[in-house]
Structure 1
């Protein structure tokens, strides 16, 4: 019989790690409940980089994964992110982890073993930089198999969504004016914060339509902007942001089912659905393209082959085709922050100010008017000295 963890909890000893357990089989949903120092309990095969980045940003003390964090199907990026950030990762702990732990339990970690109080809960594999590197190397060897599967999924998507891709069939009519304007589509993905910061001058000048994809809407609000449209499953956008006045489009399955619609309706927010087999970021691009956007700037979206696979879902095949469809309109903001930075050191700033003072002094000294003023000032000074000391 499982005993409540509060009964026999004790402080962690040297070399141990302790914290409060927060559980959810969907990592994206769990992140919203996590607090710094919590221990995240997840059920995530092939932990992707976006999920890992969000766990690191919250400041979790450790991550316990019921599933293998690297299955070997492809070189997923999440475990490396956690290890580099110094977050302990113990995985392959088994499904019983969710049966033996409850939300708010005190959890203690010793090596690769997990305890609730003094009661052993599960034992898995504790990763470090070496084990992650070995697993990633093995995963790269099997990449060709995943590439074949990805290609097959892409062809299936082409057949399924041909009318949407070619003729825009199924794209909803929206109130937001898009035709002839730029659209900035924000996904809470890789490097989204840095890229939004670098794009601030662009946003001020062009005033693009701001489209937040699920949690990307919160990212816009956090950056000081109000989204014009919110598109997605509605599983990671906050209630307050949904009420911000943006036009809301709920991503639905091809058969019309939209699980996220009920939540939006409960909040009293008007919404429409967009049925498609594509991912939410893809339908945002397809909508912007169909409604006549002049330019589409994407923040936090996926582009490389590993990133497509790192999404961990078959729908990622749509990502590749969508980019072919949108074509020359699409500008990827990823990496802009690394290409262009306005880093100005204190010494450089002081040097710049001194240079400006010297330049102004030289300009004053060279002008006829300033020479006359300097002559008057010199004569006044001589008269003052004469009166004081005569």
Structure 2
């Protein structure tokens, strides 16, 4: 018997959640295959907010994690996002869950146990608002250790990439003209959709170079724009967007290996590699700066220590130094949608319309043409009234 696929978990009793299993050890790669009501099976220590937001946006019924969603290293933001959205989250299922489940299996959940064909295949820890809050409180106590590690990573990166940071050594030549222009860099990060919507007048007026960082290129296309450049390791940008005609820069490891290059060439798209230990969003900023951009506007990028740690990668240390390098050119558009909102009340709009009508009427009344027109209208009205009076 086919198990029902449930789109929402709030309306069902614990133990009644069921759906189609979709498996991938990389969450952002899995999101592209998920459908509403699916059960996502992931291998993700310390789920970050960006990953959680993408799972919520798809509308999954549950998330089954082979690893701890909060390890205690730092207060990562993803699990709280999932449980607040009413999505079932079960942790610590173990690596065996990927061997016992297959793509497309119809599975059900009984509290903290995963069932396949009614038989238990894995048991973990079911999270809720209380357990997540307690784990977050414990994790905050470990921030000092993570801060020390972050500082050490920053120094290591400075030693490794000082030529790139200080002199631009290794930045590839590009065909897109950047010198003297504004550059808009879009990362599919926090609040990127709302911020892009607010920036529409800016984009229309200044026509900046549009650079999408991996999935940020899809974000630009979804908002109605065509990216001029796509930079990243090419693991989350879609095939159609890669073929849109944008100049493609593939992020490579420092030793020159570029796993994403084979995929790009397989699509018949030409690409240039950019070897560096930094993150892809940092490479986009460094490239724009080195090629003479007059202003760099960033959307969806990481802007503070909590976000750096939430990303969960030592490489995020490069972001700190990159921002120091780019300096005054960088304008971070994060949260601009919350800062600037056009809220016009109905009464204010009505008053505006009435004021406009009154101004037009006054202008017509005092002009010679307007007075002549009013005389014609007045005579037409008098004739109409006279004719109606004759009927009675």
TM-score range, shorter chain: over 0.9
Q: Is the 8 A contact 2:220 2:226 kept in 1?
A: yes
Are residue 175 (structure 1) and residue 175 (structure 2) matched? Answer: yes
Q: Using the TM superposition, give the Cα deviation of residue 85 of structure 1 relative to its aligned residue in structure 2, in angstroms.
A: 1.4
- Structure 2, unaligned runs of 5 or more: 6-11
1:183-202 → structure 2 map (5 Å cutoff): 183-202=183-202
- The structure-2 alpha-carbon separation of the partners of 1:377 and 1:93, relative to structure 1 and needing over 3 Å to count, comes to same
Q: Using the TM superposition, give the Cα deviation of residue 107 of structure 1 relative to its aligned residue in structure 2, in angstroms.
A: 1.0
**In structure 2, how many angstroms separate the alpha carbons of the residues matched to 1:230 and 1:65?**
31
**In structure 2, how many angstroms separate the alpha carbons of the residues matched to 1:143 and 1:186?**
29
Q: Using the TM superposition, give the Cα deviation of residue 376 of structure 1 relative to its aligned residue in structure 2, in angstroms.
A: 4.3
Map of 1:228 onto structure 2 = 228
**In structure 2, how many angstroms separate the alpha carbons of the residues matched to 1:387 and 1:329?**
74
Q: Is the 8 A contact 1:9 1:118 kept in 2?
A: no
**Post-superposition CA distance 1:262-309 (Å, at most 9, x none):** 111111111111010000000110010011100000011001101001
Q: Using the TM superposition, give the Cα deviation of residue 350 of structure 1 relative to its aligned residue in structure 2, in angstroms.
A: 3.6
Map of 1:132 onto structure 2 = 132
- The structure-2 alpha-carbon separation of the partners of 1:373 and 1:303, relative to structure 1 and needing over 3 Å to count, comes to same
Map of 1:165 onto structure 2 = 165
1:87-106 → structure 2 map (5 Å cutoff): 87-106=87-106
Q: Using the TM superposition, give the Cα deviation of residue 220 of structure 1 relative to its aligned residue in structure 2, in angstroms.
A: 0.7
Are residue 305 (structure 1) and residue 305 (structure 2) matched? Answer: yes
Map of 2:150 onto structure 1 = 150
**In structure 2, how many angstroms separate the alpha carbons of the residues matched to 1:384 and 1:223?**
55
Q: Using the TM superposition, give the Cα deviation of residue 160 of structure 1 relative to its aligned residue in structure 2, in angstroms.
A: 0.3
- The structure-2 alpha-carbon separation of the partners of 1:369 and 1:288, relative to structure 1 and needing over 3 Å to count, comes to same
Q: Is the 8 A contact 2:25 2:44 kept in 1?
A: yes
Map of 2:120 onto structure 1 = 120
- The structure-2 alpha-carbon separation of the partners of 1:380 and 1:90, relative to structure 1 and needing over 3 Å to count, comes to same
Aligned-pair Cα RMSD in Å:
1.7
- The structure-2 alpha-carbon separation of the partners of 1:292 and 1:119, relative to structure 1 and needing over 3 Å to count, comes to same
Map of 1:211 onto structure 2 = 211
Map of 2:9 onto structure 1 = none
Q: Using the TM superposition, give the Cα deviation of residue 383 of structure 1 relative to its aligned residue in structure 2, in angstroms.
A: 4.3
Q: Is the 8 A contact 1:10 1:117 kept in 2?
A: no
- Structure 1, unaligned runs of 5 or more: 1-7
Q: Is the 8 A contact 1:90 1:112 kept in 2?
A: yes
Per the normalisation by structure 1, the TM-score is: 0.94
Q: Using the TM superposition, give the Cα deviation of residue 214 of structure 1 relative to its aligned residue in structure 2, in angstroms.
A: 0.5
Map of 1:356 onto structure 2 = 356
Q: Is the 8 A contact 1:72 1:138 kept in 2?
A: yes
- The structure-2 alpha-carbon separation of the partners of 1:226 and 1:10, relative to structure 1 and needing over 3 Å to count, comes to closer
SS at match of 1:184: strand
**In structure 1, how many angstroms separate the alpha carbons of the residues matched to 2:307 and 2:298?**
15
- The structure-2 alpha-carbon separation of the partners of 1:369 and 1:314, relative to structure 1 and needing over 3 Å to count, comes to same
**In structure 2, how many angstroms separate the alpha carbons of the residues matched to 1:315 and 1:298?**
19
Map of 1:83 onto structure 2 = 83
> How many residues are paired up?
383
Are residue 325 (structure 1) and residue 325 (structure 2) matched? Answer: yes
Q: Using the TM superposition, give the Cα deviation of residue 117 of structure 1 relative to its aligned residue in structure 2, in angstroms.
A: 1.7
Q: Is the 8 A contact 2:3 2:18 kept in 1?
A: no
